[in-house]
Amino acid sequence: MKRAALLASVGLLFGVGVMLSRPQETPFPHARHQGIFPTCTACHEGIEAGEPEQSVSVEPTLCGGCHDGTNLPAVAWEGRAEQPAGNLKTVHPGHPELPCGACHQTPGTGGEMEVQAAAAEACMACHAPGTEDHQAAGVPCAQCHMTLSEAPAMTAATIAAFSAPPDHGSADFAFQHGAAALDDVARCSVCHARESCTRCHANAAAVAPIMALAADGRVAEMVTGREGSWPIPPSHQASDWQMTHSALAETSPQSCSTCHAAETCSACHLDTGDRVTDGFPEAHGASARAVPASGEVPGHGPTFAVAHGEAAVAATPKCSACHAETFCIDCHDGAGRPVFHPVNFVQRHPAEAWAAPMECAECHSREVFCRNCHESQGAGQDERTAGGYHDADPNWFQSHGQAARQNLETCVSCHQQDSCLRCHSAKEGFRINPHGPDFDPEHVREKSEMSCGICHFGFQLDSP
């Protein structure tokens, strides 16, 4: 409904535009000369065979033959403007068989010199077979209309008011118009210039029909600042399109580059150099922008940033299509500033460390990264058994075991092993057994007897 209203509005504007585009100079008063000139060609000599622009009008000097100021008053008629403001062709050489009045007779009159400039409706009497709409498909526009470049006097407003032919409104016109342009680019050139296409076609320079259209300053002005229009092709709506589009992109980049420029690819394919964008044009200028990235990274759901392990192992989506290894290092090596850590994470990280929504140790060494910083900030000093830090629980020493069992990682981020061995060694101190009910000492000893030895053989208290 909206589209129909839009077309109707454009059609109305076009009609007004055509009217306004007709010559505005003082027309020759044909009616006052009725009976004086027996034939049209008496004045318009050679019009049936000659160059239209040279013979369609009469030189004003010819008037002086009669209007010499003596026999008849002199007149100031200046003749027709050099260029018609519209885009209707003067087609006299092609119609030698037609009487002049067939096209030029003023409607409702019958007199010899009751004529006017030909209107489009007159053409339609013959040139719209089987249809009332002269813009219907199959009607050769160029037969009656000049191309934009041939009508330089036509204003941008007039061009903007052209109505769209009915076939342009079809749902799939955006996907079909390329073939139509290949068949008959002359039809396009009546209303369109190169800039009409470069607004959307990222690869315009490589498309022959587009380059066949002349560049036009009026159209360029009209499209300046206007986004392109890129309807989504049916293939792109398949659920697995984001995963499968690479096959088409690799084998037929020219089909993608109708809408997509290299920048579109590199918005997602971040770090792969030219490999992915080979065959794609660069987006350049406001009138040649391409379909931008959607902002949704293919295959990446809302939690992907912190839960992508399986996808990375499975390579679905294929990480290396977009990311170099350095991308992984940026986060996993811990020295960068990963965006999933909120600003000022130093001040707010304890809750995350205890809750472990992510595994901190995936990126940070507990001993080197966490403990190093905690010790430098005074939270990991020696003589930890003297207490004082965990002051929310008066019985911390008796109850810390539960905390340690539930999140030993956090303890380790401040305490070295000898802090615990002061009480939990099998050789010294209080000799409190730290093993839980499921601990299998024989199995652990098979794997690493040295681990047992830390508590059971070798630890020495170095202070009382």
Q: Which of residues 337-356 bind another protein (CB under 8 A)?
A: 337-348, 350-356
Out of 45, 362, 431, 457, the residue judged to bind another protein by CB under 8 A: 362
Out of 385, 431, 457, 461, the residue judged to bind another protein by CB under 8 A: 385
Cα separation, 340 vs 350, whole angstroms: 16
Nearer to another protein, 236 or 405 (CB): 405
Nearer to another protein, 132 or 310 (CB): 310
Measured from the CB of residue 4, what is the shortest distance to another protein in angstroms?
21
Contacts (CB under 8 A) with another protein, residues 102-161: none
Out of 37, 77, 173, 396, the residue judged to bind another protein by CB under 8 A: 396
DSSP 260-324: --HHHHHHHSTT-TTTTTTTPPPP-SGGG--PPP-SS-TT--TTGGGS-HHHHHHTSS-GGGT--
Measured from the CB of residue 377, what is the shortest distance to another protein in angstroms?
4
Nearer to another protein, 37 or 369 (CB): 369
> How would you class 84 by CB atoms within 10 Å of its CB: exposed for 0-12, middle for 13-18, buried for 19 or more?
buried
Measured from the CB of residue 278, what is the shortest distance to another protein in angstroms?
11
Out of 25, 172, 221, 333, the residue judged to bind another protein by CB under 8 A: 333
Nearer to another protein, 143 or 294 (CB): 294
Measured from the CB of residue 422, what is the shortest distance to another protein in angstroms?
11
Measured from the CB of residue 361, what is the shortest distance to another protein in angstroms?
7
- 231 contacts another protein (rule: CB under 8 A): no
Contacts (CB under 8 A) with another protein, residues 289-328: 295, 299, 301-303, 307, 309-316, 324-326, 328
Measured from the CB of residue 192, what is the shortest distance to another protein in angstroms?
27
Nearer to another protein, 114 or 352 (CB): 352
Measured from the CB of residue 229, what is the shortest distance to another protein in angstroms?
15
Cα separation, 289 vs 282, whole angstroms: 9
Measured from the CB of residue 427, what is the shortest distance to another protein in angstroms?
13
Measured from the CB of residue 402, what is the shortest distance to another protein in angstroms?
4
Out of 50, 230, 407, 429, the residue judged to bind another protein by CB under 8 A: 407
Contacts (CB under 8 A) with another protein, residues 264-283: 266, 270-274
Contacts (CB under 8 A) with another protein, residues 410-429: 410, 412, 416-418, 420-421, 424
Measured from the CB of residue 335, what is the shortest distance to another protein in angstroms?
6
Tell me, by CB under 8 A, how many residues bind another protein.
122
Out of 66, 389, 457, 461, the residue judged to bind another protein by CB under 8 A: 389
Q: Per-residue contact track with another protein, 436 to 455, x per CB under 8 A? A: xxxxx--xx--xxxxxx-xx
Contacts (CB under 8 A) with another protein, residues 171-190: none
Nearer to another protein, 47 or 288 (CB): 288
Cα separation, 395 vs 86, whole angstroms: 96
Q: Which stretch binds another protein (CB under 8 A): 46-54, 92-100, 193-201, 408-416?
A: 408-416
